[in-house]
Chain A
């Protein structure tokens, strides 16, 4: 059971928009800690997608955006492309556990 809760899977057709939610609690996201997002293809190094809730590292397309409100955060992907098919993870800090925490991951399927 992950500290941060994500849907196990989402899907969308090419060109569509999908969102992935990340729900936490008062000891992590709700405590004001930033949420970060990663894209992970099995067998490869995870890639930082969004940091500090809404910021994109250089090289990440603006089709990817992040938001945060209360005890939750979301990752939105617009203009879905086949290469977006991957696992996506949210991450934050938890002051009760005194360490970083991840969501369980969401598998994105591009139909």
Chain B
């Protein structure tokens, strides 16, 4: 059974930093691209970032480019999202997901809540 478990969320002040982790199991983690998707309160889903299976290619939404960094450790089956210079509008539930096929998200984690507030 595929499992994706996010951690590292919490309350941070504007301008601060947080690092999210996503521990994967039940599939060959190193074979698939991975992605982060977020949902702000009362809003819809928003794609944040994607990383290739080997970690050599990364892609970002304009809203986070230059502030967030996606990375992965295939030896630990773990995906990361380093979030710097946080803004109030980054407040959201952050989901990690397996990115496969013709560009869809096959399995999702339960999400980690990030709140940016003073």
Chain A residues with CB under 8 Å of chain B are: 2, 33-34, 36, 38, 40, 44-48, 51-52, 57, 87, 89, 91-93, 97-105
Contact = CB atoms under 8 A, between A and B. Distances in A.
Given A44-B110, A46-B95, A34 B44 contact: no
B104 A91 contact: yes
B59 A34 contact: no
A2 to B, nearest CB: 6
Among A51, A92, A101, the one with the most B-chain Cβ atoms within 10 Å of its Cβ is A51
A36 B37 CA distance: 15
A48 B62 contact: no
Contacts of A36: 103-105
Interface in B94-109: 95, 97, 101-109
Interface size class of B (residues with CB under 8 A): 20 to 34
Given A38-B105, A51-B102, A100 B50 contact: yes
Interface of B: 35, 37, 44-47, 50, 59-62, 95, 97, 101-111
The DSSP consensus for interface residues of chain A is strand
A51 B104 contact: yes
Given A99-B61, A105-B44, A33 B103 contact: yes
Contact of B105 (A34, A91, A104): A91
Given A93-B103, A102-B45, 9 more contacts: A33-B102, A36-B103, A46-B45, A47-B108, A48-B107, A52-B104, A57-B106, A99-B60, A99-B61
B109 A48 contact: no
Contacts of B104: 34, 36, 48, 51-52, 91
Contacts of A105: 44-45
Contacts of B103: 33-34, 36, 92-93, 100
